[in-house]
Amino acid sequence: MNLRRIAIVAQKEWREIVRDRVFLALAFLLPVTWMLVFGYTMVFDVENIPFAVLDFDHTVQGRDFAYRFIDSRYFDFRGYLSDEHQADRLLAGAKLRLVLTIPEHFARDIASGRHAQIATTIDGTFPYRAQTIQAYAEAITRDYSAALQARYIAGRLGVSNERAAVLMQPLRLEVRYLYNQAVRSNWSVAPSLVMLTLMFVPSLLTALVVVREKESGSIFNIYSSTVTRAEFLAGKMLPGVAISFADALLLSALAVYYFGAPFKGELWFYLLATLVYVICTASIGLLVSTLVRSQNAALMIASIIGIIPAIQFSGMINPVALLEGGAWVQAHVFPAMYFENIVLGSYLKGVGGATLWTDLCVLAGYAVVLIALSYLAFHKRQTR
């Protein structure tokens, strides 16, 4: 390893990046744009659910009940429907996710002391959302019913309203949301976005470095030069890693200062882990670049490798513990999951190296293996 030769290769690579102004701008613009766009839009909250009411009862009591839904901040009232066909059509066209049906005799049943039944029809296409909608609808109905019963019992047994209310509601579950008290996904998502973005950017920066020279033929200059394989690959990777690490710092600053995500962990550990992660994802790009022969194949593989683990298998949306079979394997094969642990631990949970060192070790091992593979896959003599 000759440091000077590495520096020269890196310098040449750096110049190539700097001269392509659009590319250089994108290398910084892309992460920042993503962070801003995703930070506002990646909300997993189930809110503003479009719903409509099918009221067959046409009574004050029926409307009063419907009003509990209309008034809820979770539901977005789109109006009263005229018949069931309209409900069918709007549900099928995804214009509504919930239809509340108040049957005939709703008010009469309540007045005569019977069970009144309402129906909620939910679009089950998106199961997680459907489950949450179901829970909201049940809670609203339950509260309404409990208040109704309490009033009735107070009259029947001759006890105070408070006493009747306690009888109907003897237990309350107080839910406390930790690490993100408001469950506003906004800022709990910001740290994960650092992970997501850094899964793509470094590998895109390095995915073309070798294959570009193969396509244009300038690789022959390298084949015939004194620079060794290791020096060449190291020099090729350095500028990408440097830019990515600068991106990482920028993104972390955005997460903390712009989105207000708390940083509770150990700063030095986090920075070290971020550097290792960036080297990791940059070496994914490098490996792809040494293996394929065309730039478009390299781009496609690098993007698909980025998309697969980063969104679905990192634990950001689906917890890794619940994955099965191939999905579980895929989650463990890619570095995204380990860094997601580090990110969540460092930002939201306030734990440091003592807890997260295993994840860091895996990332480091991953980087070493990838770089070794790239080294083995790159030959200075053309095989074919």
Partner 1 sequence: MRRFAVLTVKELKQCSRDLVLVAFTAYSFLAAVYISGTGVTQDLRNAALLVHEGTPTPASRDLLYRFREPYFRRIGTFWSPREGMRRLDDGTAMLLLDIPEDFAETLNRAARTASVQLMVDTSNVTMGYLASDYGERIAATFTQDWSQRVARRSGLDLRTVPSVENASRVWYNPDLNGHWFNAIGQWLTMMTVIALLLPATALVRERERGTVEQLLVAPLTPVQIMLSKATAMTLVNVGGTVLSVYAVMRLAVGVPFAGSAALFFATTALYVFSIAGLGLAIGSFARSSAEVGMLVILIVVPMTALSGTWTAPEAMPTWARYALTISPLYHFIDCAYGILLRGAGIRVLWGSIVALALLCFVGFALAWLRLRGQPG
**Which is closer to partner 1, CB of 66 or CB of 371?**
66
**Which is closer to partner 1, CB of 4 or CB of 115?**
115
**Which is closer to partner 1, CB of 59 or CB of 134?**
134
**Which is closer to partner 1, CB of 277 or CB of 347?**
347
Amino acid at 292: V
276 burial class (0-12, 13-18, 19+ CB within 10 angstroms)? buried
The CB-of-231 to partner 1 minimum distance in angstroms stands at 23
How many Å from the N-terminal Cα to the C-terminal Cα in the chain? 27
The CB-of-133 to partner 1 minimum distance in angstroms stands at 9
**Which is closer to partner 1, CB of 228 or CB of 312?**
312
> Which distant-in-sequence residues (6+ apart) come within 8 Å of 65 by Cβ?
102, 106, 118, 144
> Which distant-in-sequence residues (6+ apart) come within 8 Å of 239 by Cβ?
10, 13, 14, 17, 205
Give the separation between CA 19 and CA 40, rounded to whole angstroms.
Answer: 33
Residue 291 to residues 203, 236, 275, 288: CA-CA distances in angstroms? 14, 15, 24, 5
State the DSSP code for 379. -
96 φ, ψ (degrees, to nearest 5) = -130, 150
CA 41 to chain centre: 10
Are 75 and 103 a contacting pair, CB within 8 Å? no
**Which is closer to partner 1, CB of 313 or CB of 378?**
313
The CB-of-226 to partner 1 minimum distance in angstroms stands at 27
**Which is closer to partner 1, CB of 191 or CB of 335?**
191
The CB-of-141 to partner 1 minimum distance in angstroms stands at 4
Query: Which tokens hold the place of 343?
Result: 């990110």
Are 107 and 66 a contacting pair, CB within 8 Å? no
The CB-of-247 to partner 1 minimum distance in angstroms stands at 12
**Which is closer to partner 1, CB of 5 or CB of 277?**
277
Cross-strand partners of 239: none
The CB-of-316 to partner 1 minimum distance in angstroms stands at 8
Cross-strand partners of 50: 76
Give the separation between CA 211 and CA 376, rounded to whole angstroms.
Answer: 16
The CB-of-59 to partner 1 minimum distance in angstroms stands at 13
Give the separation between CA 175 and CA 181, rounded to whole angstroms.
Answer: 10
The CB-of-69 to partner 1 minimum distance in angstroms stands at 11
Are 378 and 235 a contacting pair, CB within 8 Å? no
Round the CA-based radius of gyration of the chain to a whole number and report it: 29
The CB-of-39 to partner 1 minimum distance in angstroms stands at 11
Amino acid at 300: M
The CB-of-114 to partner 1 minimum distance in angstroms stands at 6
**Which is closer to partner 1, CB of 55 or CB of 123?**
123
**Which is closer to partner 1, CB of 273 or CB of 301?**
301
